[in-house]
Structure formats: structure tokens, C-alpha cells
């Protein structure tokens, strides 16, 4: 073998990396807590798996079970409405497995925050079943996560702020246990808090679930514990071994989950205009939501209904958003009329926006430069009344409108 060939073989040998198979660290199953029997006496069941134990509580409800204004079986009516509907954040079908999901945690953030309660509510079309898993103690966390079966099932998770809080917290805890348990599956998410803000913006001051229950769902909690006490109660239950107060936390979680079902039903019926009474603001929000989703016909119809069903002083924003929709559809005369009707009943920031849209339409579509200049001057007079603009912002806006007025004057001279 030549010298060159020997060098090439040596390079190949040196280039080969020794592959070493990394084994998962051996899991040491934790001991059972001393208070297992006491927690069982309180109404919990022990579940044991390869990673330790957790506690479980199961409740069932007949389809006609009433929570506030609604029976749970009305969920099926809501799904049927979405079956034939356009795409929407709420949309689901009977092919989806809906799981209403809520957690209770020992804090709000950080790797030291544990999930001590996982709550699930779902239906098999014969009844509704609530399943709650309780963390036995922090050493048994892998057992709790594994028992949830979220590594195994493909579902649609319905929550209240779950997309921003509960699910990211779950992902964090799962990551810390990933050396031992199967990978968490990604799930389709429907977050009712995000949608609730769209429905009741400028209508409800607070968006807490308990507020929604009282104001919209007809449910009043009796004997509920404040949510901020939940982690204190849990730690006390671990320390003392007594679970009586902890059962009240599970009741709190149970009400949360039942309210998620009825909130989904109520919101769906509102979105489909199922003869529900609500404010002009709420129905305007619905029309705007459809508008933002580019569901044009639906948005226009909802907004038109608002302008016809409520008093003029309540319909300013409905006329404003309807005007934007009409402008987009090329209905320029109708758009100007709607925007003009909006102005007396909307706040200054929206008035300025409305005048801008009218000025654009009268200049570019109607070629009426004097009228466009009049609308521009009306907007210019409002700039100093804007509640949020600084002096610098007001100056920039004045320059913008004065430039528009100057351009319109030139166009008018040329036209003459």
C-alpha cells in the first residue's frame, strides 16, 4: 500500500466519531406519602403507576344537568352550529374530542411552580365526566403528568386563559420530567378568555370567569374559596395530611370547568345571533370580530342588525365598522353615509378615523375636492381633543392634515 493510501485510511479512522448511546437516567420511584389513607377518606382515590402515585376524583353529570342558564347537553347544539360554519377560533365539529381543561398551581410562574391539580371535563354523548388528578407531593410529579394521558391522546383543549397560562405551565413541568415520561402531545387549543375579551370589550369591566358567570351565564357560586388561597390550602394539606379544605379547591376547579361548557354554549349562540339579549356594544363587537376574520357578509349583517335594533346613541361604533366594511366592498356612497351617522355617537379618536375615511372616499372616489377638504378641516379641529396624543403627536397629525388640505386645494384649482 502506498504512503498516500495509508495517510487516507488514517484520516478516515480519525474522522470517525465514536457513537455512544445515551441511556435515560434510572427513575427512582418515590415513597408514598404518610397521609394516603386520610386523603382517601376525604373522597380521593389513589392511582399508582411506574412513576409513583397521584390522587383522583371522578364526577359524572347527566346530559340535562343545569349549570346556571344552560343544560350541559346544549353543548351538542353549539357544535352543530359550528359544523356548517366558516372557519372561526371557536369552530369545532363532532369529529373533535372536546376536553374542557383547567389547572390549579402553586404559583404564577417560574420552574418552582408546580401544577397540583389537573381538571378535565368531557362527554361521551351519554353523560359528562369530570376527572381531577391531584399531585400527591412534588416528588410524585411525573406520576401526575403521566396519568393525565396528554402524551397519548389527541384532543381539542378548551380553557380560560389556558393558551397563555395553563398549557405553558404544563409544558414547563413536562420538560422538567422529559427524561422519564413520554413526550407531551401538541393539542388544538380554544381559549375562551381571548374570545371573551372580543365579545365583551367595553361592556364588562372585568373578565374574570366568576364575573362572566354572574353577568352572562346565570351562575352564582356559594361557599367558593378565593383562587389565591388554593396553593396555601394545598401546601397545608401536604403538611398536615388533612384534605378537607383541599376538597373545596377541587370544588372551585369543578365550577370552573362546568362554566367553561356553558360559556362556550352561550358565546356560540351569541355569535350565531340565537335571539339572545345583550348590549349594542356586545353585538357590535361580534360584527367587528367577523369583520376582522374577513367573514364579510356575516360581519355586515350583524352590524346592520345592530343599527336597526338599537337606539342611535348606542350604534355609533356599529355604523363606523359597517362603513369600513362597505368601503372594502366598494359601496362608497353607503360607506360615507354610515361613517357620517357614526360620528355623533363615537369618541374623538374614532371621529378622526371616520373623517379620514370619508375624506379619502370623497377625494378619490367622488372627486369632490371641496367636500373632502371640509371633512379634513373637521378632523383637524378635533386633533387637540384627542385624549392620548402628546404635543409632538398632535403636531405631526396637524402637519399630516394640513398637507392633505393643501393637496386638495391644488386639485380643486386644476379641476376648475
Phi and psi at 156, nearest 5°, equal -105, 115
DSSP string, 149-169: -TTT---EEEESSIIIIIHHH
Print the domain residue range for 258: 36-271
Per-residue CA distances from 149 to 184, 321, 387 (Å): 9, 45, 52
For residues 175 and 304, membership in a common domain is answered with no
Domain membership flag for residue 367: yes
> Considering the entire predicted model, what is its pTM?
0.87
Domain membership flag for residue 17: no
Per-residue CA distances from 5 to 13, 14, 15, 17, 120 (Å): 12, 14, 15, 21, 67
Task: From 257, 289, 211, 221, select the one nearest 75 (Cα to Cα).
Answer: 257
Give the pLDDT score at 108: 77
The residue length of the chain stands at 416
Residue of higher predicted confidence among 25 and 249:
249
DSSP string, 310-323: S-GGG-HHHHHHHH
Output DSSP code: residue 197.
H
Tell me the pLDDT band of 273, cut-offs 50, 70 and 90: confident
For residues 171 and 244, membership in a common domain is answered with yes
* Boundary of a domain, candidates 288, 316, 346: 346
Each residue's pLDDT tens digit, 354-368: 999 999 999 999 999
Each residue's pLDDT tens digit, 131-149: 999 999 999 999 999 999 9
Domain membership flag for residue 24: no
Each residue's pLDDT tens digit, 58-78: 999 999 999 999 999 999 999
- Residue 1 neighbours by CB under 8 Å, 6+ apart: none
Instruction: Return the CA Rg of the chain.
Output: 30
Report yes or no: 217 and 259 within 8 Å, Cβ to Cβ. Answer: yes
Q: Record the cell numbers describing residue 123, joined without a space.
A: 362527554
Q: What is the mean pLDDT of residues 29-40?
A: 96
For residues 265 and 384, membership in a common domain is answered with no
> Counting beta carbons within 10 angstroms of the beta carbon of residue 97, is it exposed (0 to 12), middle (13 to 18) or buried (19 or more)?
middle
Amino acid at each position: 500500500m502506498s504512503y498516500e493510501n495509508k495517510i487516507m485510511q488514517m484520516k478516515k479512522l480519525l474522522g470517525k466519531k465514536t457513537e455512544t448511546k445515551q441511556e435515560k437516567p434510572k427513575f427512582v420511584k418515590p415513597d408514598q406519602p404518610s397521609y394516603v389513607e386520610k386523603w382517601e377518606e376525604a373522597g380521593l382515590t389513589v392511582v399508582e403507576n411506574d412513576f409513583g402515585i397521584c390522587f383522583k376524583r371522578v364526577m359524572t353529570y347527566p346530559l340535562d344537568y343545569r349549570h346556571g342558564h344552560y343544560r350541559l347537553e346544549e353543548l351538542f347544539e353549539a357544535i352543530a352550529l359550528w359544523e356548517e360554519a366558516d372557519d372561526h377560533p371557536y369552530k369545532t365539529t363532532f369529529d373533535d374530542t372536546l376536553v374542557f381543561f383547567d389547572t390549579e398551581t402553586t404559583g404564577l410562574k417560574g420552574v418552582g411552580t408546580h401544577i397540583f391539580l389537573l381538571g378535565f371535563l368531557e362527554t361521551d354523548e351519554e353523560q359528562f365526566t369530570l376527572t381531577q388528578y391531584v399531585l400527591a407531593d412534588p416528588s410524585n410529579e411525573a406520576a401526575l403528568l403521566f396519568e393525565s394521558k396528554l402524551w397519548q391522546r389527541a384532543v381539542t383543549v378548551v380553557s380560560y386563559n389556558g393558551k397563555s397560562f395553563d398549557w405553558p405551565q404544563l409544558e414547563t413541568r413536562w420538560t422538567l420530567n422529559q427524561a422519564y415520561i413520554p413526550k407531551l402531545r401538541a393539542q388544538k387549543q380554544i381559549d375562551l378568555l381571548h374570545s371573551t375579551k372580543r365579545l365583551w370589550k367595553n361592556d364588562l369591566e372585568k373578565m374574570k370567569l366568576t364575573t362572566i358567570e354572574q353577568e352572562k351565564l346565570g351562575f352564582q357560586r356559594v361557599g367558593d374559596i378565593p383562587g389565591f388561597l388554593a396553593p396555601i390550602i394545598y401546601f397545608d394539606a401536604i403538611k398536615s395530611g388533612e384534605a378537607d379544605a383541599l376538597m373545596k379547591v377541587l370544588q372551585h376547579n369543578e365550577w370552573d370547568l362546568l362554566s367553561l361548557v356553558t360559556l362556550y354554549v352561550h358565546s356560540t349562540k351569541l355569535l350565531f345571533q340565537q335571539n339572545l339579549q345583550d348590549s349594542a356594544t356586545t353585538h357590535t363587537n361580534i360584527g367587528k370580530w367577523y369583520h376582522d376574520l374577513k367573514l364579510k357578509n356575516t360581519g355586515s349583517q350583524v352590524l346592520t342588525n345592530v343599527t336597526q335594533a338599537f337606539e342611535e346613541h348606542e350604534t355609533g361604533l356599529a355604523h363606523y365598522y359597517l362603513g369600513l366594511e362597505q368601503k372594502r366592498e366598494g359601496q362608497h356612497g353607503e360607506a360615507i353615509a354610515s361613517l357620517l351617522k357614526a360620528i355623533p355617537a363615537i369618541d374623538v379618536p374614532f371621529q378622526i378615523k371616520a373623517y379620514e375615511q370619508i375624506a379619502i372616499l370623497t377625494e378619490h372616489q367622488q372627486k369632490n375636492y371641496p367636500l373632502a377638504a371640509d371633512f379634513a378641516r373637521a378632523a383637524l379641529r378635533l386633533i387637540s381633543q384627542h385624549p392620548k396624543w402628546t404635543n409632538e403627536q398632535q403636531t405631526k397629525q396637524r402637519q399630516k392634515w394640513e398637507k392633505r388640505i393643501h393637496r386638495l386645494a391644488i386639485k380643486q384649482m386644476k379641476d376648475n
